[in-house]
Structure 1
């Protein structure tokens, strides 16, 4: 009996020890690493990529670009995005940049790379900045960054990705993939909106991004529900009310009203709306092809151009893309039987660019991404 009691006590002690060890392991997993790297790129990564000839041309020390193995410039090199892999430790504090360094890195990527007139083509600029912003986001996630620096980084990132979605629309997939850009834009936007709702403010740019979130996701029940649940003061702000009106016009398939309301948008808001404009303009032509389908009916091209917010030449090209006939006297012949769908959306997407580009005027890219538009 005594032996059984001792055995039970031993087993109980062993179980308690096992539970304690398990708890410590779990606590270890929950511990958040704090970055100590004070440069945009950890020294060991820079040396490694330099040795393997994996430096981007934007990171090379000037004067060594044509060398067999160009040298890296510590003031220009930026940490790459690193895919998680077995046996790869991404939590080493010496490889992680603290929030202040991450924010400085993003400012460098925007001010010295993305907006630099001397760096081209912009598809290459985008590719570099996009990858390095992913690296910034990765460091933020590992360290569970929050607060003002987190919000500032996400706001700059979302503006950059929104602008890129407009500027690079229609580019070959090998240079720009809209689906990948959209995935990362949605992730950063969702994180930003969550920061607004869970962290104490003030958040002076919240109205701007709440509106952009809805304009980019027109027709989304989730996006509309999010706006409805906002505090009354924010929900009734001018930008958010305008975005709600445009979303309502989109849901009602009322392209004339939608395009009329779009005139009131800022440039970046128009960039967010841009991906919906081809569908909107197409819907307008379809509605008019049914409403004015009469062999004796002539519709003025100038009036249609005004409705579509395009010049007459682009309007005529847009009409012909959908099988709508335009004669030499600038008269449009609508026919529901003649209306046809082009094989690829990209074929006519570029025709809607002027609706957005006209709003840019003298705004610089720096103004746009820093929210000074």
Structure 2
């Protein structure tokens, strides 16, 4: 009886393309040694990262723009016209004015060290920079157009915020910077409403406004220092985010002292009327708001007036029913000519006797281009009176 031989076992060193002799053992040891080295590098990186979390960089730059950045931008001819030294504007390579140049926002990049102390400004210098941007740039009557002023200040405020994040700035200086930043962005959302998208993007402005407002409210919640402007900004946050359940819940979780303050109470009443789709009450309460509060609310005025016309188009939809134009103008907080223009945009007929003929069948939704929101800002504009931009952003009453 023939027995089948068992297959011959081939050692690893005898396999095809296998290293001969002790070469396999040597390569295996090198591989393990390499893995150990990689593990050591990873552990070292983790230690450095952990050490970096414990040691927060502190800025030492005492000027609004670091010297190195000013020199680099001057060589690259990248200075803004608001930063040029007077008398060198027409030179081939204009020089920067150290007293006017402000550090610009720079995107994080690989290999770029953004924690260099000489390039970071302490909190006191950051606050001084923000005050300069407000008083000498945003509020200047000589710098025009204001869209360019806005874009310049907006970029430099992003640079301020970047330095604050790197240094984990907190305390009263942080709150003062954020308060002025939020007021500036709220005011800009009103003043630049309706501008071309290439000059002003309301969505980008809204994104940064929400981020700064959230940071500010968090500073109020975690800080131990007294904040005299907290009532103002709690109300502004709700008015700007009218109809937001999250914003309303935040207000309801505040201490009773803040929740029952006049500004917050008025904001809560306005928010409740907005939730109930009572545009007449919203517009009536809007008359009691101050200027910066009206700026925060103004982006909701279009929808409120639209809701009012929808309700009246259904409630007074009759061939024989006539509604006085002056009465509707009073409810909409507009003059007669603007009320007529708004009604015609929504398909509401205005006869020769200045009477409105509502019809739910004739009501139409106009295109966005037909609704020039800036035309209907009188409820906000009349509250500014002779107040300057600097006083508005600094919160001077």
User: Is contact 1:170–1:346 with CA below 8 Å preserved after alignment?
Assistant: no
Deviation digits for residues 88-125 of structure 1 (CA, Å, limit 9, x no counterpart): 11111110000000000000000000000011100000
Query: Which runs of no fewer than 5 residues in structure 2 stay unpaired?
Result: 1-32
Q: Pick from 193, 208, 212: which aligns with 2:236? A: 212
Over alpha carbons, which structure has the higher Rg?
2
Query: Which runs of no fewer than 5 residues in structure 1 stay unpaired?
Result: 1-10
Residues in 2 aligned to 1:99 and 1:233: alpha-carbon distance in whole angstroms: 30
Q: Pick from 52, 57, 65: which aligns with 1:29? A: 52
- Cα gap change, 1:145/1:320 in structure 2, threshold over 3 Å: closer, same or farther? same
Specify the alignment match of 1:76 in structure 2.
Answer: 100
Residues in 2 aligned to 1:346 and 1:213: alpha-carbon distance in whole angstroms: 29
Indicate yes or no: 2:144 matched with 1:133: no
Q: Which moved more, 1:324-333 or 1:216-225?
A: 324-333
Specify the alignment match of 1:114 in structure 2.
Answer: 138
Residues in 2 aligned to 1:18 and 1:73: alpha-carbon distance in whole angstroms: 46
Specify the alignment match of 1:347 in structure 2.
Answer: 371
Q: Pick from 291, 294, 297: which aligns with 1:270? A: 294
Q: Which moved more, 1:108-117 or 1:363-372?
A: 363-372
Residues in 1 aligned to 2:362 and 2:226: alpha-carbon distance in whole angstroms: 55
User: Is contact 1:249–1:258 with CA below 8 Å preserved after alignment?
Assistant: yes
Residues in 2 aligned to 1:214 and 1:192: alpha-carbon distance in whole angstroms: 14
Residue 197 of structure 2: SS of its match in structure 1? coil
Specify the alignment match of 2:90 in structure 1.
Answer: 66
Considering only aligned residues, what root-mean-square deviation do their CA atoms show, in Å? 1.8
Length-normalised TM-score, structure 1: 0.94
Deviation digits for residues 325-356 of structure 1 (CA, Å, limit 9, x no counterpart): 11222111111111111121672322321111
Q: Pick from 73, 94, 105: which aligns with 1:49? A: 73
Q: Pick from 275, 299, 302: which aligns with 2:326? A: 302
Indicate yes or no: 2:118 matched with 1:99: no
Residue 123 of structure 1: SS of its match in structure 2? helix
Q: Which moved more, 1:98-107 or 1:66-75?
A: 66-75
Residues in 2 aligned to 1:69 and 1:19: alpha-carbon distance in whole angstroms: 47
Deviation digits for residues 41-64 of structure 1 (CA, Å, limit 9, x no counterpart): 001111111111111000001111
Q: CA deviation at 1:201?
A: 2.0
Specify the alignment match of 1:175 in structure 2.
Answer: 199
User: Is contact 1:278–1:348 with CA below 8 Å preserved after alignment?
Assistant: no
Q: CA deviation at 1:29?
A: 2.4
Length-normalised TM-score, structure 2: 0.88
Residues in 1 aligned to 2:384 and 2:151: alpha-carbon distance in whole angstroms: 23
Residues in 2 aligned to 1:327 and 1:56: alpha-carbon distance in whole angstroms: 54
User: Is contact 2:345–2:370 with CA below 8 Å preserved after alignment?
Assistant: no
User: Is contact 1:318–1:351 with CA below 8 Å preserved after alignment?
Assistant: no
Q: How many matched pairs?
A: 362
User: Is contact 2:194–2:372 with CA below 8 Å preserved after alignment?
Assistant: no
